[in-house]
Copies of this chain bind each other. A is one copy, B any other.
Amino acid sequence: MNSKSGLKVCVIGLGSMGFGVATSLLRDGFDIVGFDVSADAMARFSALGGKTADSPSAAARDADVAICLVVNAAQTETVLYGAGGTAAAMATGGTILSCATMSPGAARDFAVRAEALGLNYVDAPVSGGATRAASGELTIMASGAPAAIAHARPVLDCIAAKVYELGEKAGTGAAFKIVNQLLAGVHIAAACEAITFAKAMDLDIARVYEVITASAGSSWMFENRVPHILDGDYAPRSAVDIFTKDLGIVADIGREMKFPTPIASMALQMFVMTAAAGMGRDDDASVARMIADMAGLQLPGMEG
């Protein structure tokens, strides 16, 4: 069964982002195969009528476009170039959309290896969260050869509301994404510090949320994450460990370039402290619980 575009597509990684991307493609009639290491994720995709495969290479058999939506550079390397990987199974001239957040250097390395196999590589980190992945409204920070982006265009248009074309070289998209993650991570840590500081001063934190979101102290992350704290709901929409990873990439790049990142490094430590306290897989707003625990404060949902 071919789609309107005639492109065979595979999605490697059916986590919170990949699942939404795969279902968006399915909904739009693409010829799509999904793979995940989790049998549960594969069963959920099958239940919606999606095809699955037993390995990245089986999913990618003769695929024109392979979307790689795993967690980091190491997992990307494994599913693309490891044993049973995607790259060797794809159709000649196929295009890899590599969506994990990683260093620009890793993206450049993966692009060189794709080209050596006769494949196109688009450095294509995504932003927008699981909700917008599910609705096909991601933001994509893409860089790569214009012909490669054109080849994948029907897929990009299906899964994204906005595709920024940021340059012809792999690594540029990754660099834009990591700048975004620097800010996002700092803003989450700052939101958690500020709301617990407000609690320590005995303010009504729901009122603080109302006032700050209408004031110059607001941020996208303050608006988005503080409701989790007000509700005492730390079910992971995005986990603490995502930011120990992404701010870790910032720290690695900064050290390598000899560029100081004091604010991002302090925010990284806040996520590391929260993970160390056992909350690494909980929602990243858990930084507020870590601070509250330390300071003897009780936020909503915390036992006395």
Contact = CB atoms under 8 A, between A and B. Distances in A.
Interface in A257-271: 257-264, 266-267, 269-270
A217 B291 contact: no
Q: How many copies does the complex hold?
A: 2
Contact of A203 (B172, B198, B250): B172
Contacts of A257: 200-201
Given A220-B216, A266-B266, A197 B176 contact: no
A203 B183 contact: no
Given A197-B261, A295-B260, A183 B190 contact: yes
A223 to B, nearest CB: 10
Contact of A182 (B127, B194, B267): B194
Interface stretch (A78-86, A92-100, A206-214): A206-214
Interface in A209-262: 210-212, 214-222, 224, 250, 253-254, 257-262
Contacts of A164: 207, 210-211
A77 interface: no
A214 B263 contact: no
Nearest to A203: B175
Most buried by B among A181, A195, A201: A201
Contacts of A141: 211
A270 B263 contact: yes
For the complex of A and B, list the 10 residue pairs with the smallest distance between their C-beta atoms, beginning with the closest.
A183-B217, A219-B219, A180-B217, A186-B190, A266-B266, A200-B259, A184-B217, A175-B201, A179-B198, A218-B220
5 contacts: A164-B207, A183-B222, A186-B263, A190-B264, A219-B220
